[in-house]
């Protein structure tokens, strides 16, 4: 093993851990109580410094872990090297092709897991289609992201899902902070690192006004951009409009935008007809889980020439009339490819919920039927309470009279 790479990974993990006090406290508790003793975990997560802190927490709790990446471009190789030295089975390398990416997931599954952790549902999908011989042993799972939850709910509706899965994404402490502030900041960070563009005065088109899209829109507006939202959900579109954003279909937005950011979780959001209408120099970035939101094949077909790597993570597509469109990170998650993903302070909450959900599963799994489960409410509240305590923030508590008032229907005006 390259010792310089390991040392760089260790430094990076140590730096992340400084901003993860809640997960660190849970790790200390796990080390004393060993709630995961004997548990084998296969995880498919972005291999980042923050994930490494989660792996350390689960190991402290007694788990044996195999880890594969949940995206071919998001792996931090120095972190992967350091994690290997800690005794986690890591199957991940930055920039691998599709085939190697899936081979790595199979290798992680070779541990024959009791519990699986997924980010996007690729590992659960492979378990249910290609590695069904392992299903008998698997007694639970956790899913980290919106896209994965959508796929799991569909599996559950079709009665295809064979074990209980906890929807970590749906906790308030994940969705409100990770999706909004984490995706918001890291997406803008990725675009800036890739292009060094000035956002002030630019028109930024954000496709999708879910928690993530809202976060991206808020950060772009904060930097002085004019923000246009495209949506298919009338309620979200109305919400965006009442936030003061310009709301338009992509057809109009395509002509107006300087920067396009897709955050919908759906495919073909930016298609050939939109690409053909864009301005010279338009920047295209995706912050949705899969690389399906921008039709890269249509872009290839429109282009007369492609200049790869005009800057790191930036490819320039030259159209017949000379206009240049700039595709970031090959249309994959820009925040984890061109930047470092969500900041550790945000992942502290998401991964604390994840660690506590694994401990909950380890306790309860024998009594749970297959299906998608919410993280128990007390986990959410505990994560928030620990995060506030770490920041030295105190909050009010209900008086006895207030408690009584909340629980009575007889008291009125
Ligand atoms: N998803 C988004 N940001 C992440 C990060 N920093 N680590 C792991 N998963 C992530």
Ligand 1: distance of its center to the CA of 342 in Å?
A: 5
Q: What is the pLDDT of residue 198?
A: 98
Instruction: Report the C-alpha gap between 194 and 191 in whole angstroms.
Output: 5
pLDDT tens for the chain, residues 1 to 413: 789 999 999 999 999 999 999 999 999 999 999 999 999 999 999 999 999 999 999 999 999 999 999 999 999 999 999 999 999 999 999 999 999 999 999 999 999 999 999 999 999 999 999 999 999 999 999 999 988 999 999 999 999 999 999 999 889 888 889 999 999 999 999 999 999 999 999 999 999 999 999 999 999 999 999 999 999 999 999 999 999 999 999 999 999 999 999 999 999 999 999 999 999 999 999 999 999 999 999 999 999 999 999 999 999 999 999 999 999 999 999 999 999 999 999 999 999 999 999 999 999 999 999 999 999 989 999 999 999 999 999 999 999 999 999 998 887 76
Q: What is the pLDDT of residue 410?
A: 80
Among 300, 321, 337, identify where a domain stops: 337
DSSP 120-181: SSHHHHHHHHT-GGGTTT--EEEE-SHHHHHHHHHHHHTT---SEEEEGGGSHHHIIIIIII
Ligand 1: distance of its center to the CA of 344 in Å?
A: 8
Mutate to test the pocket of ligand 1, among 12, 45, 49, 50 (most ligand atoms within 8 A of CB): 50
Mutate to test the pocket of ligand 1, among 347, 348, 352, 354 (most ligand atoms within 8 A of CB): 347
* Domain count of the fold of the chain: 2
Statement to judge: residues 194 and 294 lie in one domain: yes
Statement to judge: residues 208 and 281 lie in one domain: yes
Statement to judge: residues 347 and 332 lie in one domain: no
DSSP 8-state class, residue 270: B
Ligand 1: distance of its center to the CA of 35 in Å?
A: 25
Annotated binding site for NAD(+): 145-147, 179, 208-215, 231, 266, 287-289, 335, 342
Ligand 1: distance of its center to the CA of 50 in Å?
A: 7
Sign of the C-alpha dihedral computed for residues 79, 111, 352 and 152 taken in this order: positive
Query: What CATH number has the domain bearing residue 30?
Result: 3.40.50.1480
Statement to judge: residues 64 and 119 lie in one domain: yes
412, part of any domain: no
Annotated binding site for substrate: 48, 119, 144, 174, 178
Taking the whole predicted model, whether its pTM rises above 0.85 is answered as: yes
Mutate to test the pocket of ligand 1, among 336, 343, 354 (most ligand atoms within 8 A of CB): 336
Statement to judge: residues 15 and 157 lie in one domain: yes
Query: What CATH number has the domain bearing residue 296?
Result: 3.40.50.720
Statement to judge: residues 332 and 352 lie in one domain: no
Residues with CB under 6 A from ligand 1: 45-46, 48, 50-51, 182, 336, 341-342, 347
284, part of any domain: yes
Ligand 1: distance of its center to the CA of 198 in Å?
A: 25
59, part of any domain: yes
Statement to judge: residues 131 and 243 lie in one domain: no
Statement to judge: residues 79 and 195 lie in one domain: no
Statement to judge: residues 148 and 207 lie in one domain: no
409, part of any domain: no
Statement to judge: residues 378 and 297 lie in one domain: no
369, part of any domain: yes
Mutate to test the pocket of ligand 1, among 46, 80, 216, 355 (most ligand atoms within 8 A of CB): 46
82: exposed, middle or buried (Cβ count in 10 Å: 0-12, 13-18, 19+): buried
Q: Residue 19's closest CA among 387, 395, 392? A: 387
Q: Give the nearest ligand 1 atom to 183 CA.
A: 2
The encoded tokens of residue 352 equal 């604390």
392: left (phi over 0), alpha (psi -120 to 50) or beta: left
191, part of any domain: yes
Helices of type H across 308-376: 334-337, 344-364
Statement to judge: residues 301 and 169 lie in one domain: no
The C-alpha R_g of the chain, in whole angstroms, comes to 22
Domain that holds residue 291: 181-337
395, part of any domain: no
């Amino acid at each position: 093993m390259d010792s310089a790479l390991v040392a760089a990974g260790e430094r990076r993990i140590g730096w992340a851990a400084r901003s993860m006090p809640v997960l660190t406290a849970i790790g200390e508790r796990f080390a004393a109580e060993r709630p995961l003793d004997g548990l084998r975990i296969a995880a498919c997560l972005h291999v980042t410094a923050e994930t490494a802190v989660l792996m350390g927490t689960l190991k402290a709790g007694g788990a044996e872990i195999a880890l594969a990446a949940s995206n071919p471009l998001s792996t931090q190789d120095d972190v992967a090297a350091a994690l290997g030295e800690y005794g986690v089975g890591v199957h991940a390398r930055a920039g691998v092709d599709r085939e190697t990416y899936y081979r790595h997931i199979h290798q992680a599954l070779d541990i024959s897991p009791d519990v699986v952790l997924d980010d996007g549902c690729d590992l659960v999908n492979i378990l249910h289609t290609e590695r069904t011989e392992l299903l008998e042993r698997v007694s639970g799972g956790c899913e980290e992201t919106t896209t994965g939850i959508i796929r799991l709910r569909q599996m559950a509706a079709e009665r295809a899902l064979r074990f209980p899965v906890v929807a970590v994404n749906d906790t308030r402490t994940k969705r409100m902070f990770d999706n909004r502030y984490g995706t918001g900041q890291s997406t803008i960070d990725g675009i800036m690192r890739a292009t060094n563009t000035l956002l002030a005065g630019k028109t930024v088109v954000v496709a999708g006004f879910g928690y993530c899209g809202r976060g991206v829109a808020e950060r772009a507006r904060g930097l002085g951009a004019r923000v246009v939202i495209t949506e298919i959900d009338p309620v979200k579109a109305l919400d965006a409009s009442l936030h003061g954003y310009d709301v338009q279909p992509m057809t109009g937005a395509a002509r107006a935008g300087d920067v396009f950011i897709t955050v919908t979780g759906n495919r073909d959001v930016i298609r050939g007809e939109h690409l053909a209408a864009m301005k010279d120099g338009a920047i295209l970035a995706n912050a949705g889980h899969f690389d399906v939101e921008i039709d890269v094949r249509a872009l290839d077909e429109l282009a007369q020439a492609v200049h790869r790597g005009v800057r790191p993570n930036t490819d320039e597509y030259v159209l017949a009339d000379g206009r240049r469109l700039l595709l970031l990170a090959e249309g994959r998650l820009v925040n984890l490819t061109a930047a470092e993903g969500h900041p550790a302070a945000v992942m502290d909450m998401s991964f604390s919920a994840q660690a506590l959900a694994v401990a909950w599963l380890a306790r309860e799994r024998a009594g749970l039927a297959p299906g998608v489960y919410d993280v128990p409410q007390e986990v959410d509240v505990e994560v928030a309470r620990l995060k506030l305590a770490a920041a030295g923030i105190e909050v009010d508590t209900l008086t006895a009279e207030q408690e009584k008032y909340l629980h009575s229907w007889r008291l009125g005006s």
